[in-house]
C-alpha cells in the first residue's frame, strides 16, 4: 500500500506528529493531489489547541494549498476540449479544502504530502502563477465573490442597463488592503467596467500607507478608515460624484461604520431598494438593525450540490478566466521566513505569540517554508476563516461547541501576526483565515 508523510493531529492540545499514513484513492468527482504549498493560520492553532470541530483523532487539518494532480476519480473532467479539465501528472491547481464538510476525514486535510479535493474546489493554474501565489487565491476569491452573490449583485455579463437604469452607484469595499479586501477591489473594478452594471465607481477604505496600492487595484477613491469622519467623507464624495451607495463589502472592520455610510442614502432610495452589506466577519449579535438595510454574513452554501456549483464558478470560471486575461492578480504577496515541514508546530507557536517576521521569501525544493505579513494584510484572508468556520459550525449544528477558551486564541497585539507558509515539496504559499477578536467569555 502506498503511503505518504503527514503532520498528524493526534490529540487535543498536542503538537502535530509527523507520521506516514495510507495514501487515499480519489472517489467519484475527486482529485488526488501532491501538495506543493500550504500555509498556517490562526484557525490551525485554535484547532490544534482546542480540538474544535474535530470529531475524532488522529486527523489532518489545513485549509488552502496549491499542488499537482496525481490521480482523478470517476466523473472528473479530463478532456482538454472541455472548458475545465484535470490531467494526472500535468495539471497544477490551487484548492480550497473540503475537510469541514467531510467531518475532518484526514484524507481531506492539507498538512500532508498527498490529499483529496473535490474537483469543483480546485482551479487549474497557468504556468505564470507560482505555487506561492496560487495558494493565496482560493479563500480570498471565495469570500469576495460570495459577498457579491449574497447581496444579489448580477455576475459579470448578467446585468443589463435596462435592469439597472444606468450607472448611478458607487460600490464600497471596507478593509481594502487585506487579502480578501484586495480581491474585493479587483472584482468590484470588473463590475464597474461591465457595461450592463449599475456601478460607476469603486470606493474603498484602507490605512493611508496603502492608498496607492489599493488605487492600483482599481479603486477610484480611497479613504482612511482611521479618520473619525470617514463615513461623512465617503458620503460627501458620493454626493459630489452624483452617486449613491447601496452595497458595501465589509472585508474587515466594523459593521457600524458601513451602516453609517449606507444609512445616508436610504432616504434617497426612491425605488424602495434595500441597501445591503456583505460581511466577511461575523455579524455581531448586538449589531444595530436598520430599516431598509440588510447585513449578510457571507460563506459557501452548506448544501453540497449548491456549494460545489458556487466554487466551480468562483474558482474554475471567474478566477481562472480573469487571471488568464490579466484582469486580476494575486495580492498581497507571501513572505517566507522559514523552512522544513517539521516546523509546522513551531510556526503555529509563533502564530500564537503574534510574532512578526521580516518580509522575506524562501523557495527550497523538498523543504517547507512559512511566511508572515503585517497585521493589516492578514485580516479576512488570514484570520477570517476562523470566524467563518465558527459560523459554519453553527449552521451545521456540529456536535462540538462553537467556542474556544480565550487562551486558545493568538494574541492580536504587537502590531503584527505571523503567517506561516509550509511547503511540502517545492515552493511556498499563503492560506486564508479571518478576523479573530478577544472578549470576555471567548470568541
Residue 92 and residue 95: Cα distance in Å, rounded? 10
Give the whole-number percent of the chain exceeding pLDDT 90: 60
Residue 366 and residue 389: Cα distance in Å, rounded? 31
Q: What is the DSSP letter of 406?
A: G
Arithmetic mean of pLDDT, 20-39: 94
Task: Tell me what pLDDT residue 273 has.
Answer: 79
Q: Which grid cell sits at 86?
A: 484535470
**Residue 232 phi/psi, 5° resolution?**
-65, -40
Arithmetic mean of pLDDT, 365-391: 40
Task: Tell me what pLDDT residue 60 has.
Answer: 96
Span 134-191, pLDDT tens digits = 888 998 899 999 999 999 999 988 876 555 567 899 999 999 998 889 999 999 999 9
The model carries a pTM of 0.80
Residue 201: name the closest of 157, 155, 160, 234 by CA: 234
Residue 167 and residue 186: Cα distance in Å, rounded? 18
Residue 6: pLDDT over 90: yes
Among the residue ranges 75-84, 156-165, 230-239, 283-292, the one predicted with the least confidence is: 156-165
Q: Which grid cell sits at 236?
A: 460627501
Other CB atoms within a 10 A radius of the CB of residue 80 amount to 8
> Predicted confidence band at 271 (pLDDT cuts at 50, 70, 90)?
low
Residue 123: name the closest of 183, 65, 189 by CA: 65
Q: Which residue has the cell 478593509?
A: 175
Domains 3-136+332-423 and 141-297 are alike in CATH topology: no
Q: Which residue has the cell 490529540?
A: 11
User: Would you kindly state where each structural domain of the chain is located, as residue ranges?
Assistant: 3-136+332-423, 141-297
Span 408-443, pLDDT tens digits = 433 332 223 333 344 443 333 333 333 333 333 332
Residue 259 and residue 384: Cα distance in Å, rounded? 20
Q: Which grid cell sits at 176?
A: 481594502
User: Which strand (E) or helix (H) includes residue 46?
Assistant: helix 42-50
Residue 50 and residue 291: Cα distance in Å, rounded? 39
Q: Which residue has the cell 515541514?
A: 341
> Predicted confidence band at 270 (pLDDT cuts at 50, 70, 90)?
low
Give the chain's count of helices (H) and strands (E): 13, 18
**Residue 438 phi/psi, 5° resolution?**
-90, 140
CATH number for region 141-297: 3.40.50.720
Bond from prior residue into 260 cis (ω within 30 degrees of 0): no
Pick the CATH number of 3-136+332-423 from 3.10.20.30, 3.40.50.300, 3.90.180.10, 3.40.640.10: 3.90.180.10
Q: Are strands 169-174 and 244-250 parallel, antiparallel or unpaired?
A: parallel
Could you tell me if 404 and 42 are in contact, meaning their C-beta atoms sit under 8 angstroms apart? no
Q: Burial level of 342, CB count in 10 A (0-12/13-18/19+)?
A: middle
Residue 327: name the closest of 137, 189, 134 by CA: 189
Q: In the predicted model, what is the mean pLDDT of the chain? A: 80
Bond from prior residue into 58 cis (ω within 30 degrees of 0): yes
Amino acid at each position: 500500500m502506498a503511503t505518504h508523510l503527514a503532520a498528524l493531529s493526534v490529540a487535543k492540545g498536542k503538537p502535530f506528529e509527523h507520521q506516514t499514513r495510507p495514501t487515499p484513492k480519489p472517489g467519484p468527482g475527486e482529485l488526488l493531489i501532491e501538495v506543493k504549498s500550504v500555509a498556517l493560520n490562526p484557525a490551525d492553532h485554535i484547532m490544534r489547541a482546542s480540538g474544535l470541530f474535530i470529531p475524532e483523532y488522529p486527523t489532518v487539518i489545513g485549509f488552502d494549498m496549491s499542488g499537482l494532480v496525481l490521480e482523478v476519480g470517476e466523473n472528473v473532467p479530463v478532456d482538454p476540449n472541455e472548458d475545465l479539465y484535470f490531467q494526472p501528472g500535468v495539471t497544477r491547481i490551487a484548492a480550497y479544502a473540503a475537510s469541514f464538510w467531510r467531518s475532518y476525514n484526514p484524507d481531506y486535510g492539507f498538512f500532508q504530502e498527498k490529499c483529496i479535493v473535490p474537483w469543483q474546489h480546485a482551479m487549474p493554474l497557468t504556468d505564470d502563477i507560482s505555487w506561492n501565489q496560487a495558494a493565496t487565491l482560493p479563500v480570498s476569491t471565495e469570500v469576495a465573490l460570495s459577498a457579491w452573490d449574497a447581496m444579489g449583485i448580477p455576475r459579470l455579463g448578467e446585468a443589463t442597463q435596462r435592469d439597472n437604469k444606468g450607472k448611478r452607484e458607487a460600490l464600497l469595499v471596507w478593509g481594502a488592503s487585506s487579502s480578501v479586501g484586495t480581491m474585493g477591489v479587483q472584482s468590484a473594478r470588473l463590475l464597474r467596467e461591465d457595461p450592463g452594471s449599475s456601478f460607476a465607481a469603486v470606493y474603498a477604505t484602507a490605512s493611508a500607507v496603502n492608498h496607492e496600492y489599493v488605487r492600483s487595484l482599481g479603486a477610484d477613491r480611497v479613504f482612511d478608515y482611521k479618520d473619525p469622519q470617514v463615513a461623512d467623507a465617503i458620503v460627501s464624495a458620493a454626493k459630489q460624484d452624483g452617486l449613491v451607495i447601496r452595497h458595501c463589502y465589509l472585508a474587515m472592520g466594523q459593521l457600524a461604520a458601513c451602516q453609517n455610510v449606507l444609512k445616508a442614502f436610504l432616504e434617497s432610495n426612491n425605488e424602495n431598494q434595500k441597501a445591503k452589506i456583505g460581511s466577511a466577519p461575523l455579524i455581531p449579535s448586538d449589531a444595530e438593525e436598520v430599516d431598509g438595510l440588510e447585513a449578510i454574513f457571507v460563506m459557501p452554501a452548506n448544501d453540497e450540490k449548491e456549494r460545489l456549483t458556487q466554487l466551480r464558478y468562483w474558482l474554475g470560471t471567474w478566477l481562472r478566466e480573469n487571471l488568464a486575461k490579466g484582469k486580476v492578480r494575486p495580492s498581497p504577496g507571501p513572505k517566507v521566513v522559514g523552512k522544513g515541514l517539521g516546523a509546522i508546530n513551531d510556526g503555529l507557536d509563533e502564530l500564537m505569540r503574534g510574532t512578526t517576521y521580516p518580509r522575506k521569501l524562501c523557495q527550497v525544493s523538498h523543504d517547507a517554508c512559512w511566511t508572515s505579513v503585517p497585521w493589516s494584510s492578514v485580516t479576512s484572508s488570514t484570520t477570517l476563516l476562523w470566524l467563518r468556520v465558527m459560523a459554519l459550525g453553527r449552521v451545521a449544528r456540529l456536535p462540538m461547541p462553537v467556542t474556544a477558551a480565550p487562551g486558545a486564541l493568538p494574541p492580536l497585539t504587537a502590531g503584527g501576526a505571523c503567517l506561516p507558509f509550509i511547503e511540502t515539496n517545492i515552493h511556498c504559499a499563503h492560506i486564508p483565515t479571518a478576523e479573530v477578536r478577544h472578549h470576555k467569555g471567548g470568541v
